[in-house]
Amino acid sequence: MEINNLWMEVLDLASLESSVHLSPSTGPMSYEKGDSYGSQPRDFAGLIQTCGSNIYKITQNTAQIKSLVNQLGTKQDTSELQDRLQQIQHYTNQLAKETNRHLKDLGSLPPPVSPSEQRQQKLQRDRLMNEFSAALNNFQAVQRRAAEKEKESVARARAASRLSVRNSFHLVMHETAVIP
Of the candidates 109, 130, 131, the one whose C-alpha atom is nearest the C-alpha of residue 121 is 109
pLDDT of residue 57: 98
Q: Is 8 exposed, middle or buried (0-12, 13-18, 19+ CB in 10 A)?
A: exposed
Residue type, position 151, single letter: K
pLDDT of residue 76: 92
CA distance 75 to 142: 20
Q: What's this model's pTM, rounded to 2 decimal places?
A: 0.70
Report how far apart, in Å, the C-alpha atoms of 63 and of each of 5, 72, 176 are. 23, 15, 55
pLDDT of residue 154: 78
Q: What is the CATH number of domain 3-176?
A: 1.20.58.70
Collect all residues with Cβ–Cβ distance below 8 Å to 42 and sequence separation of at least 6: 105
Mean pLDDT by 10 residues, the chain (180 residues): 53 42 36 47 92 98 97 91 95 97 94 94 96 98 93 80 67 59
Of the candidates 127, 136, 135, the one whose C-alpha atom is nearest the C-alpha of residue 48 is 127
CA distance 92 to 95: 5
